Copies of this chain bind each other. A is one copy, B any other.
Amino acid sequence: MKGPAFLIDIDGVLYVGDQAVPGAAEAIRLLEESGQPYRFVSNSTRKSRASIAARLENLGFSVPASRIFTPPVAAIAAMKQDGRTRAAFLTTGDVDRDFADAGIYPTDCNPHWVVIGDAGDNFTYRSLTLAMRRILDGAGILALEYDRYWMGADGLMLSAGPFVAALEYATGKKATVVGKPSPEFFDLAVRDMGVERADTLMIGDDIVTDIGGAQAAGMRGVLVRTGKYRADTVASSGIRPFRIIGSLAEIGELL
């Protein structure tokens, strides 16, 4: 019988900060040579797939953009399935490039959706007030993620979640949330490999989103001790990973 298929988180698994995880690039080469299918799943909402692939290339990883699955990819799939694709954007970086590649261009005129990512300094009183007006006029809230915060260079930074919560409170509407740990998001990558969830291992550093999310979706979760891994967070999570490994460098044990 064939071995498992792999979903692999990026930030904290392939690299931490500006440094590749030692042995991770070799692990990906080993995986490629094994012939086992694999895809990358990230909750990044500040970069397009092409930008993520370019960054990985700089760090020594050879990964085609088409193997990288992010919340914008999931949002595009959700919008196309829904049949309504007019969207205003509250995002930063070049994530709009993914949408443009799918034929979805930003519009401020009667959008069906207000798409919200981790927009950083693009979250202003003005941009949020305009988003509220569009939502009250009928647009849905499409949240690329619902995280509370992330660790920046000098402390915690607000993520998209609090701003989504602000607009939910202002408008009385609930957001549609894509990205990990949504099963639909995992399925995009799983279906792209032509396998089943039950045959898939999810490798990540977030005990809740990666491991808990994967296992709730019927996959097996493999936790790495790199990135945001903390032993006490794992202990208090109530989540038991299928396996815990030191880093992606030990992927040989899973093949």
Contacts and interface: CB of A to CB of B under 8 A. Distances in A.
Contact of A161 (B126, B156, B170): B170
Contact of A158 (B119, B129, B148, B168): B129
A132 interface: yes
Contacts of A123: 124-125, 128
B133 A155 contact: yes
Given A121-B124, A125-B123, A149-B132, A162 B167 contact: yes
A158 to B, nearest CB: 5
A165 interface: yes
Contacts of A129: 156-158
A149 B124 contact: no
A166 interface: yes
Contacts of A148: 169-171
Given A148-B170, A166-B163, A166-B165, A125 B158 contact: yes
Contact of A170 (B121, B126, B149): B149
The quantity of this chain's copies bound in the complex is 2
A119 to B, nearest CB: 8
Interface residues of A, number: 29
A120 interface: yes
Interface string A104-136: 000000000000000111111110110011001
A129 B160 CA distance: 12
Interface in A138-173: 148-149, 155-158, 161-163, 165-171
Nearest to A121: B125
A161 B136 CA distance: 16
A171 B136 CA distance: 27
A165 B158 contact: no
Nearest to A119: B125
Residue among A126, A136, A163 with most chain B CB within 10 A = A163
Nearest to A167: B162
Residue among A124, A128, A133, A170 with most chain B CB within 10 A = A170
A51 B124 CA distance: 27
Nearest to A165: B169
5 contacts: A124-B124, A125-B158, A148-B169, A158-B166, A161-B170
